[in-house]
Amino acid sequence: MSGLVVGYGSPDPLKIEEMFKKINYRGPYVSGISTNKQVMLAQNYLKADCPMANPDRDKVPVTSSGNGVWQICYDGQMGNQKELAKAHGLSNGPFQEERLVLHLHQEHGSDMCEYLDDAIFAFVISNGDEIFAARDLLGIKTLFYGRRDNTLYLATELKSLAAVTDDVNEFPPGHYMDGSGNLTRFAELPKTPPEHLHSDLNQMVEDIRDIIQRSLQSRVDFTVETGGLLSGGMDSSVINYLASQLYKEKFGNDAQLKTFAVGVGESEDIETARIMAKQIDSDHHELIVDLDQILAVLPEVIYFLESFDPSLVRGSVSNYLISKYARERGIDLLLSGEGGDEIFCGYIYLKDFPAEELFARQMECVGFLHNNASLRLDRMNHCNSVRVVAPLISGELFRYTLAIPAEYKQKPVGNEKVEKWILRKALQP
């Protein structure tokens, strides 16, 4: 999860450098700028983005070894990377995901996006004469574009574009852009639920548990200093519980995953996170803050978040503070439980809707994810040079849960409904 800046047409090198400096915190480990004909590409990475890379040897943007010279600026993460690499004969090594995306583009052109159905991504590919850019269906990875002086600019963050043009647009999720600057939709959220896979509740529960474990294992290997964001809520507890098990399997039963919680005074969240940390035997760290500390960081939070939305800003402050706290203690990668409320209908207000309307309301939540929780998650961690992984935001899990009946997501129990009921069921001892 890195940063990119691209200019296509007649890009000004000084402008590209100015844009790139705006997001240097997204990748102080490996970075580079490349010029090829009418295209300039700038890319940076965190250490956790490319732990196998050698900054003195491996140059970026990554270049293809196939027909012609194609380069890629990439910000993303694949859940099915190993399977795709094996199927297409790609060797292991640094920047495998980037090499895989380049290969898929050469093999399939714009149809390549069909193969990235278990990935979050925003990327730009170019051979110097043309470009191809795309953003994942849920818009988990950010991308913006704008024009000035017959040049198309693309960047991970708004602040980069604002440095060179007033023409700033969000690159829409589920779309790709060709060299003419035309946007084409390659995928969209479903309007109606798919047919149920089966009616066996026990099988659903087992499948959900397996998919979440598989998602975690395919995205995290603990090769860099890894910790978990533990709010005390259900989703973060699930992820940290499973991650702690994997951590002990790899390093021994006495090994403890580092977990991090933030709160004001002895808040309920702090207490709940403390109980969960003890339960999973983690090396738990707490950051207790007061109102003055919160107010002091508001300007920074808004700058990095690029939003004035009150609820989004409010939720981002704690994420910013705990990410900074974890980074100061050597953490390169943080695990998050984000996505659970959207995938499993965890928002309390969804209880107000009848079962037949729940799917449509859930898709509204999912459609807003890129401008809400995932934006907060991306910006508040990357501004502290920390990679963040949210295993519940998985293409495989998303597609599977679409077919789960509404009554298993919001389970009627007496006169109430239990939110995320099937997730609770899946993680019961």
Residues forming a β-bridge with 32 = 43
At 326, is the pLDDT very low, low, confident or very high (cuts 50, 70, 90)? very high
Listed in sequence order, the DSSP H helices in 230-372 are 234-251, 268-280, 291-305, 310-328, 340-344, 355-368
pLDDT at 66: 63
In Å, how far are 63, 80, 123 from 77, measured between CA atoms? 18, 9, 11
At 67, is the pLDDT very low, low, confident or very high (cuts 50, 70, 90)? low
List, in order, residues 6 or more apart from 378 with CB less than 8 Å away: 1, 140, 141, 142, 388
List, in order, residues 6 or more apart from 269 with CB less than 8 Å away: 231, 232, 233, 261, 263
> What is d(CA 411, CA 298) in angstroms, rounded to the nearest whole number?
39
As given in the structure block, the two tokens for residue 117 are: 């159905």
At 179, is the pLDDT very low, low, confident or very high (cuts 50, 70, 90)? confident
Question: Amino acid identity of 308?
Answer: F
> What is d(CA 324, CA 318) in angstroms, rounded to the nearest whole number?
10
Question: Amino acid identity of 245?
Answer: Q
Tell me what percent of the residues of the chain surpass a pLDDT of 70: 99
At 56, is the pLDDT very low, low, confident or very high (cuts 50, 70, 90)? confident
Other C-beta atoms closer than 10 Å to the C-beta of 318 total: 22
Q: Where in the chain is the domain with CATH 3.60.20.10?
A: 3-185
Q: Where in the chain is the domain with CATH 3.40.50.620?
A: 201-426
Q: Would the pLDDT of 283 be above 90?
A: yes
Q: Would the pLDDT of 68 be above 70?
A: no
> What is d(CA 167, CA 159) in angstroms, rounded to the nearest whole number?
12
Q: Considering the domain 3-185 in this protein, what is its CATH number?
A: 3.60.20.10
Question: Amino acid identity of 338?
Answer: E
pTM of the model: 0.95
> What is d(CA 321, CA 326) in angstroms, rounded to the nearest whole number?
9
> What distance separates the 2 farthest-apart alpha carbons in the chain?
67
Report residue 266 CA to chain centroid gap. 30
> What is d(CA 319, CA 164) in angstroms, rounded to the nearest whole number?
30
Question: Amino acid identity of 268?
Answer: E
pLDDT at 1: 66
Q: Considering the domain 201-426 in this protein, what is its CATH number?
A: 3.40.50.620
Rounded mean pLDDT, 155-164: 97
Number of H helices, E strands in the chain: 15, 19
- For 44, the enclosing helix (H) or strand (E) is strand 39-45
